A and B are shown apart, each in its own frame.
Chain A
Amino acid sequence: MVRLPYLTALTTLFSYGLLFAFGQLRDFFRKIIDWSKSTSKGLKGYAPICLGLEDFYTRRLYLRIQDCFSRPIASAPDAWIDVVERYSNDNNKTLHRTSNTTKCLNLGSYNYLGFAAADEYCTPRVIESLKKYSSSTCSIRVDGGTTDLHNELEELLARFVGKPAAITFGMGYVTNSAIIPILIGKGGLIISDSLNHNSIVNGARGSGAAVRVFQHNNPSHLEEVLRELIAEGQPRTHRPWKKIIVIVEGIYSMEGELCQLPEIISVCKKYKAYTYLDEAHSIGAVGKTGRGVCELLGVDPADVDIMMGTFTKSFGSCGGYIAASKEIIRYLKYSCPAHLYATSMSPPAVQQVISAIKVILGEDGSSRGAQKLAHIRENSNFFRSELQKMGFEVLGDSDSPVMPIMLYNPAKIPAFSRECLKQNVAIVTVAFPATPLLLARARICISAAHSREDLIKGLEVISKVGDLVGIKYFPAEPPQHQEQGHKKLE
């Protein structure tokens, strides 16, 4: 639960109000100036791409701090990266690259197990497969796009995750958008967590089923919603629902929290709803052997009907997968549009995932996998506890490698980001619309490639900048009040 101090809420609202007022003023003057000049040629009779307030946020708020986002890098997204310097001649409206780079500590990329850069086991094998299979098959999976690499990956993946069969796709986003419409259609019901990712929302919308939301990570509210909706039936006709799917994520990327999987599974089993678990951020990153939230929370993979994940985060590749029973996978292979219409996954990327899974399982003959897993767990717990000691408001459960630090005020977003960059630490800041309006944050992603010295340097810089910007909202309380403080953090 996020704690929002009353005074901070007021000041944040005031800042946004001020920015909005200034934005409207500038829009007003822009309209006057444009009206006195001639209308733009060639676009007469065409409605503009964005009318009025539709892109107000983009033009007046986002463009002012554009240099904090989309920073290009000139190296692999490893623990240390070369951030390209950019300059602007027109007050941040357009940014131009220079050829100078600064070496910065990377606390923003999803590189949980450190497979991002060239790896001693994976890269030679990837290059070999590139020379054998070339960079693309130029064909869809059901035509000529299935190579023996793809089959090998699917078997290995099914074994790794603990399900009977698996199917892979070239992009994680497409996996969600194309699978959900196949599993459920009109007459069905999707109940999804309120903070689910955009790809799940898109898939749910594209399916045509009714969509309801339950309070984030709250199994008792889920039970309430299920009881109410099953008793009511479909809207207006009150016919019984054809089927119900509950969609949750393993680790929520903006909160760093683990989902309360055992309780949610027991609720779903009681009411005969199907469960769909999206493990984009948790597969490979949590759990004793890297098998995700099911292993961490002690849930049997057979209890989850469909497990989905991506290869971008922990395996250093690209693509997504679905693991489920053999019949479901067979049906998906027959009808899923992403399987029937999209180019198959690039063979070198497939080989990277195969090698990464082998390293994690220890099948490459070394113990690097176990070392990486232990490393990321230690790093996350160390970093989080240090940040909390310093007085930052840090979200997320222990063992989770994603930790958001709350900023709240819109002006602190560019301040934090730019000051950290000046001291050679690359930070990711997120604001509206990816998060609620008042809850802007800086998100840290820890990697197994970070060494203890890297983390200590990061902590120093963050502490200094935190003092400068003023985000240490909850300084460490004296020992008598420590217990209450811990309770609030739950």
Chain B
Amino acid sequence: MSAPRIGLRGIVKRYGPIVANDRVDLDVAAGGIHAVVGENGAGKTTLMRIIAGLVEPDAGRYELDGRPVRLRGPADAIRRGIGMVHQRFQLVEELSALENLVLGATPGRLRFDRRAARTAARRLAEQLAAELDWEAPVAQLSVGQRQRLEIMRLLYRRADILIFDEPTSVLTPGEAELLFGIMRRLAADGRTILFITHKLPEVFAVAQHVTVMRRGRVVATSAVADTDPRQVGRQMVGEDLTPPDLRPSGRVGRPVLALREVSATGGRGEPRLRRVSFEVAEGEIVGVAGVEGNGQRELVEVVMGLRQPAGGEILLDGRPCGHRGVRERRDLGVAFISEDRDGEGASLDATIADNAVATAYRRPPLARAGLLSPGRVRRATEDLIRRFGVQGGRPGAPARVLSGGNLQRLVVGRELSRVPRLLVAAHPTRGVDLRGTVFIRQQLHRAREAGAAILLVSEEIVELLELCDRIVVLYRGRITADLPVARVTAERLGALMAGLAA
């Protein structure tokens, strides 16, 4: 057998006391898709950054085609054909897609030859079967389009090893399928793909090999054909993760939230919600199923008071509240897990403690007579960190240091530290690892059993079926079905979400 395209031997990377990569060995064959899976903090990103020349290992050997190399930065890596699509895209939003494509790629040349760039762009778009508006600023592109632009940027620089760091965590299921098609095509062209994820079905859908990491180490590397999701799941977590029982006890009380013929419009006046009516009662989780862009965001915003409804009535505990602002609604006992975790959900620049008390700081016991008690804030934060298993930062550190999964634990903890009357949860487990996902679902379940009314917006059919008492389907701004969960199967729900008749 010839030498692997990438060979790592005993790679070590430490961050202070943390060993992010602990004597990692990895062989990646040329021309295929190799998945790397592991929980948050397992060291996947660090390892990929080493491969892409962004981080220098403290020890170990790095070989390309059997020859040892030492990369001097990402520019050196891209010269050797190695490029990475980061979790946070590295695009300049204000520049056009075309300008982003060529940015920094021709340092020696002064003239920016738009025509040549456009020709290259068109060829790349054809190759990926991914058309986009090259003159539009990147800010106007969808997340999926941005990701495809990142891929084309790497191909423009002639990369033949492409590293994807959790590319599907920002995509809708439909867009993820599109990405998998692109990945397969690139691999068929002989390119080598490294694919990080923590969703096991994705591994088994596209990859030929899978490497499992846990706590900085490689636990196993296998051919996908020789293993199964259960085994890989066990290797990831280090134990059998028995799914907890989340079935509702069925003690449903009085309605808490009621929507009566609520409509909403988008920025250009186009309808986004059309006469939506349903109720959520005490001790009940009502799931909102639908493919992204069918009005979920608007629904959440009108319920939270972030958007004025264009018509209809919103009742909280029987009282109209369509005119009330976010704070008033929160004072009535509404809690909110936003899908926009680091925009609406948390402030990355503020400390973990400030984020932890952001919805409670005006009330006793944290504040008395308008004065904040720092000691109580710290204790409340430490308590929350312990109860909700937030790892990776002390109360005084900025929230930015937390990984996505841990930041979400912080947000969930803040919103559920008291049992709310109503919880609005939008995609609460998106981009969260296996253990975190199980934990968050458990918390939602617990809040329901304690009497909270929960509105759960999700695209994950499994999540909806596992947690909900009732599911409403949102399609093109309309409620097209409102069913008790016992009468729904995964197939039927999928069909309803796609707009096919029930």
Asked if chains A and B come from one complex, the reply is no
